[in-house]
Amino acid sequence: MWSWMQDNTALLNALSSIAMLVIWLAYLQLFLTSFLRSNRAVVHIGMATEGHNDGRCLVSNMSADSLYILGIMVELECKGEVYRSLVTDRIEADEPLGGDFRERTNQGPLKGGEAVDIGSFRNIGERVARNTQRDIRLDDCDWIEFTVMVAAQQAHKIYGGKKRYEIEGEAGSLSFRSADILTSQIRSFTERRRLRRMLAA
C-alpha cells in the first residue's frame, strides 16, 4: 500500500487538490447564498383591523437592511373598470411640508423590521378618486391592489411587493380579504423595469 502511494504521489496530490477545491467552492456557495439572503429586499403588506368596517394598510420592511419607500401604487376595480394611481403622499397640498415629513408622505426610509401605516383603506380609496378625478366609492369596488416600490442595496436597485385584497360586503359593512397572507415579491428584471415606468409616469 505504501509502495503504491509512493508510486502515485502525483495522482494523489492532484486528487487532494481537487477535493480541497470542491470543499472551498461549497463554502463559497454557502457564503454567497447567506449573503444574498441577508441583503435581499423583502416587503410585506398587511392589514390592521379598524372600527367602522375599515382597515389600515401596513407596509413592513422584513429585510436586514434599511429600504427607502419610493412610491405606492394602488389599483381599484370598480364596476368592471380599473383605476390606478400613486398614493404615496398622504395629503396633496402645495404648502411646504414642515414638521415631521412622514406625517405628509409615505415616502422615506424604513429600517429593517419596522412598519409604517400608510392609511386606512377608505382613505386610500379617496386618494385614488381625487388623483384620477373620478367618482370612486370603495363600496362599489371588487378589489384593491397595493404595489409598494422601494430602493434597496444602497439605492442602486428598485424592488417591490404586491398584494391584492378582495372587497366583500355591502355599504357600511365592508371586509377586506387577501387570497394569500404573504406578499408577492417583485424581483425579476422585467418587473423591476415596470416599476420604474410606474414611478416615472
Residues 157 and 186 in one domain: yes
- Confidence (pLDDT) at 170: 75
Nearest 5°: CA angle at 160, between 196 and 153? Answer: 85
- Confidence (pLDDT) at 72: 96
**What distance in Å separates the CA atoms of residue 121 and residue 54, rounded to the nearest whole number?**
6
Distance from chain centroid for Cα 192: 11
Helices and strands per DSSP (H, E), number in the chain: 4, 10
Phi, then psi, of 71 in degrees rounded to 5? -170, 160
Residues 149 and 62 in one domain: yes
For residue 187, pLDDT over 60 is answered with yes
Residues 18 and 88 in one domain: no
Residues 68 and 83 in one domain: yes
Residues 76 and 136 in one domain: yes
Phi, then psi, of 13 in degrees rounded to 5? -65, -40
pTM of structure = 0.77
Residues 140 and 84 in one domain: yes
For residue 7, pLDDT over 80 is answered with no
Candidate ranges 95-109, 153-167, 182-196; pick with highest mean pLDDT: 182-196
**What distance in Å separates the CA atoms of residue 78 and residue 101, rounded to the nearest whole number?**
32
Residues 51 and 23 in one domain: no
| Domain containing residue 23 | 2-36
Residues 116 and 24 in one domain: no
